[in-house]
Amino acid sequence: MALSRLENLYRAVILDHTSHPRNFGVLEEANGRIELNNPTCGDVIQLHVLVEGDRITKARFSGHGCSISTASASMMTEVVIGKTPKEAQQLIGEFLLLVQGKLPADQEADLGDASMLSGVQKFPARIKCATLSWKALERILLKQQESGMEISLEKEDLADD
Ligand code: ZN
């Protein structure tokens, strides 16, 4: 079956994020860090976030993962930089719906390039690859909220859910 023009466009954008990931690297000044693993695929991501005032001012990721997890992390950092933690949590929720095919179409634009990962809903085994970086951010934001202070690098495996 031939890919539609839209699917070809989506594929091109995803490939671009995979081969030229945005915000890749380490953020020395981060006040939130986490390492999250996806054992089903072998993806490992270290996410570094700087929250200043009420905004996420910087986000960077490192680690190694498949093309979907890398593209998703790149897209995630692009869309959350400049947002408040609350706005970012809203976007995380929207992305988790997107990959299950449950996000209303009129909300897809909120997610920027990440909306192009909607096709992953057809490949359930890859959904965790796509959500890894978003769940990493969610954990950082929740812990910052709970503690009201800096959190250090923790290693966790992505549980089945
Ligand atoms: Zn993966």
Query: Which pLDDT tens digit goes with each residue over 7-24?
Result: 888 899 999 999 999 999
Residue 4 has what pLDDT? 82
Are 101 and 88 spatial neighbours (Cβ–Cβ below 8 Å)?
Answer: no
pLDDT at 161 over 70: no
pTM: 0.90
Ligand 1 mean position to 147 CA, how many Å? 31
d(CA 137, CA 92): 8
User: How far away, in angstroms, is 131 Cα from ligand 1 center?
Assistant: 10
Which tokens belong to 137? Answer: 């951010």
State residue 8's pLDDT score.
86
Calpha distance 16→10 (Å, rounded)? 10
Read off the pLDDT of residues 65-88 as tens digits, 9 standing for 90 and up: 999 999 999 999 999 999 999 999
Q: How confident is residue 156, by pLDDT bands cut at 50, 70 and 90?
A: confident
